[in-house]
Amino acid sequence: MKVERLMTKDVRTCRPTDSLNEVARAMWERDCGCLPVVADDRTNRVVGMITDRDVCMAAYTTGRRLEEIRVDQVMSRQVLSCLPDDVLSEAEATMRSGRVRRLPVLDDAGQLLGLVSLADIAQEAGREHGVRRREVSDGEVGQTLAEITRPREIGAGS
């Protein structure tokens, strides 16, 4: 199965200059845990990702109000992504190696087309229960989740 079949196409984004308050509001309204950060609305080129955990940790570690913290101060600049024509197992391998739950789906120019999440893949596995020829296996979803949620080694590499 190709990524484009499961990806969410209507993805809310934010800009590097937005405040974390705006990001938190957008996540609440969309019931999502991350937003791709785009350079500007015109090009939709992804320059980072921000998660609900990034927002919480920024508030906790700085002691500042969300209105006072900009996205570019806390966003991840290393963007792991996939292409719409990638098979799901390739996207899952990227999630496992990067220990991320969501991947922006980009075109060849780095512009956002959608977002695919581990939840999307798990829901597809659930829909396929009882189907003779399954495209998404429970075991692979479980393996991906286990790898993503493996506790990090504190102090490793420092």
The tens digit of pLDDT for each residue in 52-94 reads 999 999 999 999 999 999 999 999 999 999 999 999 889 989 9
With contact defined as beta carbons under 8 Å apart, do 91 and 104 qualify? no
The tens digit of pLDDT for each residue in 83-135 reads 999 998 899 899 989 989 999 999 998 899 999 998 888 887 766 566 566 56
Long-range CB contact pairs, 60-66, < 8 A, 24+: 65/21, 66/19, 66/20, 66/21, 66/24
